Structure 1
Amino acid sequence: MAWTKRLTHGAVSAVAGIAALAASGLGAGGSALAQDPIKIGEINSYTALPAFTEPYRMGWQLALEEINAAGGVDGRPLEVISKDDAGKPGDAVTAANELTQREDVALLMGTFFSHVGLAVSDYAKQREVFFLAAEPLTDALVWSKGNDYTFRLRPSVTMQAEMLAEEAAKLDATRWATVAPNYEYGTSAVEAFKEAMNRRRDDIEWVNEQWPPFGKIDAGSTVQALAQSEPDAIFNVTFGPDLTKFVREGTTRGLFQDREVVSLLTGEPEYMDPLGAETPEGWIVTGYPWDQIDTPEHNTFLEAYQAKFDDYPRLGSIVGYATMYSVAEILEKAESLETEDLIAAAEGIGVDTPLGPITYRAADHQSTLGAYVGRTAVQDGKGVMVDFGYRDGANYLPSPDEAKAMRPGS
């Protein structure tokens, strides 16, 4: 069921869905009335990174409102019980346990940081609970540490690194330096980009690596160390407040002068907007040029989002919205709240999103959602993406057989 058609479809199917559920007794414990809500457990790092997670919450809230207005899933409304993990794996596991054991949720969704997502994924495996990871980007989530219970929406670090490397390999640059936060996401992103570049070019020299702690970057010393290595180009993985500090210090010290920069996530409004006119120009980035995308599916989403919140969407908004609709589609296809049925329904399922249709692959549970790649510029005192294009995630994934071989137990 396409989300763009959901309001019409839901009105037609609600009565039939209620009757079918009443006859079958589907629901938590098999005894719930058809009109009882289906509980969804949601976990994210709201206090740790509000720039992304608040728009993310607004995205899933909009989707939830639309889904329930259209009759819910087979006549049952969805109810989201949300918890904040504070960016800590231990807090996330505690939240997951409370949601599954006390609140009796049908499944889990969410998380932002890679190490947090991995912790919840392991919990889902141990407790045999369905988990749809919204944002964590580490490859390990679906490959080296993948499990039957975990699926992921966002394109992974390898997928986005491959997209960026396509453009970076064209540059007249051989001496490269990297800077990334020193945790799972940062280390895996650098590894993926280096592998992608080395595969495309045999003349690349990696001259420096900087690993500032996330949220505590010493921008002055980081910039100085990078400059001393005299790279031709820099691969940057910092984001949020760290990115702002890095850009300001790098600009002040001339680090970016006559030097190419390739930067993961920097084109996302939540990270570029705080820079405003200080946005560095000409960086190759992944991002979300929300005000320049002119497709029917995105226009429908944009109109609804702005009408509800009187604000423009960020990339987090897309992620939250698509995650919630993915959950609804999986529940509807499963026709059951049993974990095994949810897994079977999710494998190979197609979902329409504001960025186009995606599929959750059966081989590795990774979705084919893509990303926009372009360059940064400053227009009217704000950072924007220019010369951008959408990269379909399906084109940056290993074959199903290769993906299966990368997972435990293969």
Structure 2
Amino acid sequence: MKRAFAALTLAAGLAVPAAAQDADPIKIALVHGMSGSPLEAFSKQTHTGFELGLEYATDGTMEVNGRPIEIIYKDTQFKPDVARAVLAEAYADDEVLLAVGATSSGVTTGLLPIAEEYERILLVEPAVADSLTGPDSNRYVFKTSRNSSMDMQAQALALKPDENLYVATLAEDYAFGRDGIAAFKSALEGTGATVVTEEYVPQGTTDYTAVGERMFNALKDQEGRKVILIYVAGSGDAPGKLQAMDPSRFGIELSFGGNILPAMVGYKAYPGMEGAVYYYYEAFDNPINDWLVEEHQARFDGPPDFFTAGGMAAALAVVKALNTAETLDTEGLIAAMEGMSWDTPKGEMTFRPEDHQALQSMLHFKIRVDDDVAWAIPEKVEIITPDMMDIPIGREN
């Protein structure tokens, strides 16, 4: 029973059974920004989920076929040059079998050629941009995190687009934002909906006055449903700033995807809003998610969050690959992982052989406010399964 391992705590570290002490460890690097950005909360959740996922997948032994798993932590500081250096260090000096990272799509882009140079696996989690499995990627890169096309195709489905829908988009001016809006526009093709303007702002923007006015002006005279789609990560509270400008006076709605629970507190201002999100702990009904929710609640006095589930999905993929690969080297792992399916807290995922993107479900939600819950609840409307989306292939093998 998985529950039998509840006594193992992350605070005590990843204990290795005595019988495995003499075996060569399987070294895995977690390469994420742990300092220097508001996005470090995403990294910490990913690490927690990864550790929990290893525990679940190994029945608490923290070993595979008698070999202990050793995690090596690397801080990218959210700086591309630092990230490249620490990943190279992990491959060359620490001799890790594979690495998992990173948090920012912009930073992760710079890691792709490092994986190719050292001919080692880079498992991308939680960075999102489509381009991470695109033409500039390579055969050593696999991706368990969702991509921008999944975000935006799910978001488009939640908006129920037709010829009466007019949209202004707002995103940050880097890979995550640009790829996301490109994917959203692609998802709207053939629906009759119109994107009237696209706005891009620097990361960390806090003043949305000018950009808000431009979007209002582009939408206000349209005859039909008028929506501002927000695709902004990290700080700045773009929805709150735009809401304070009273878009409703022009009949304009705001729409945006879900987020981590601390950010969902602010969503209480948008009851009834529909959107899409990668994960919410109450929305998925399966044994792995049940275990994750129960264990996380017991250990951390709260439910697992958005990126906790992602970290666990990455760990479950790693352990399945280690258990099924004919040889524990890069080529053996690639052979095992291409086309591999495995179970996660949000259901089955599959690495697409062509570009190594994990195909997976998304959640269509509607915001419900409960005074007894600190955050707004993204209540399930529908699970959007992979067959309901048409995710472009990024890179042909």
For residue 247 of structure 2, the aligned residue among 249, 252, 255 is 255
Q: Which runs of 5+ in 2 are unaligned?
A: 6-17, 221-225
Q: Deviations over 1:221-256 (max 9, x none)?
A: 2222222222511111012322x2x22222221125
Deviates more, 1:335-344 or 1:287-296: 287-296
Q: 1:212 aligns with which of 194, 201, 222?
A: 201
Give CA deviations for 1:357-409 in whole Å, capped at 9, x if unaligned: 222122221112221111223221631113422222354245xxx73xx526x
- Unpaired segments of 5 or more residues in structure 1? 8-17, 22-32
Partner of 2:66: 75
Shift of 1:110: 1.8
Match of 2:133 in 1: 142
Contact 1:110 / 1:133 at 8 angstroms: preserved in 2?
A: yes
CA deviations on 1:311-362 (whole Å, 9 max, x unpaired) are 2111110011111121111112124332111111111222111111222122
Give the direction of change, closer, same or farther, for the CA distance of 1:364–1:36 in structure 2 (3 Å limit): same
TM-score by length of 2: 0.85
Instruction: Give the AA of the match of 1:214.
Output: Q
Paired residue total: 374
Report whether the alignment pairs 1:386 with 2:375.
no
Q: TM-score, with normalisation over the residues of structure 1? A: 0.83
CA contact (8 A) 1:240 1:271 kept: no
String of CA shifts for 1:153-172, please: whole Å, max 9, x gaps.
Answer: 12211122112222324467
Alignment of structure 1 residues 218-367 onto 2, 5 Å: 218-231=207-220, 232-242=226-236, 244=237, 246-256=238-248, 258-264=251-257, 266-273=258-265, 275=266, 277-279=268-270, 281-367=272-358
Name 1:60's counterpart in structure 2.
50
Residue 202 of structure 2 aligns to a residue whose secondary structure is: coil
Cα gap change, 1:388 to 1:268, in 2 (>3 Å): farther
Aligned letter for 1:35? Answer: A
Alignment of 1:81-92 (within 5 A): 81-92=72-83
CA deviation map 1:14-35 (0-9, x unaligned):
xxxx99x9xxxxxxxxxxx862
Alpha-carbon offset, residue 101 of structure 1: 1.3
Q: Distance in 2 between matches of 1:283 and 1:221?
A: 26
Provide the secondary structure at the position in 2 that maps to 1:46: coil
Do the aligned residues in 2 keep the contact of 1:260 with 1:283 (CA within 8 Å)?
no
How far did residue 184 of structure 1 move? 0.6
Contact 1:269 1:287 in 2 (8 A): no
Q: Give, in whole Å, the separation in 2 of the partners of 1:368 and 1:38.
A: 27
Range that drifts further, 280-289 or 372-381: 280-289
Q: Is the 8 A contact 1:267 1:285 kept in 2?
A: no
Q: CA deviation at 1:289?
A: 2.8
Within 5 A, what are the aligned runs for 1:99-248?
99-170=90-161, 173-201=164-192, 204-231=193-220, 232-242=226-236, 244=237, 246-248=238-240
Q: CA deviation at 1:76?
A: 1.0
| RMSD between aligned residues | 2.7
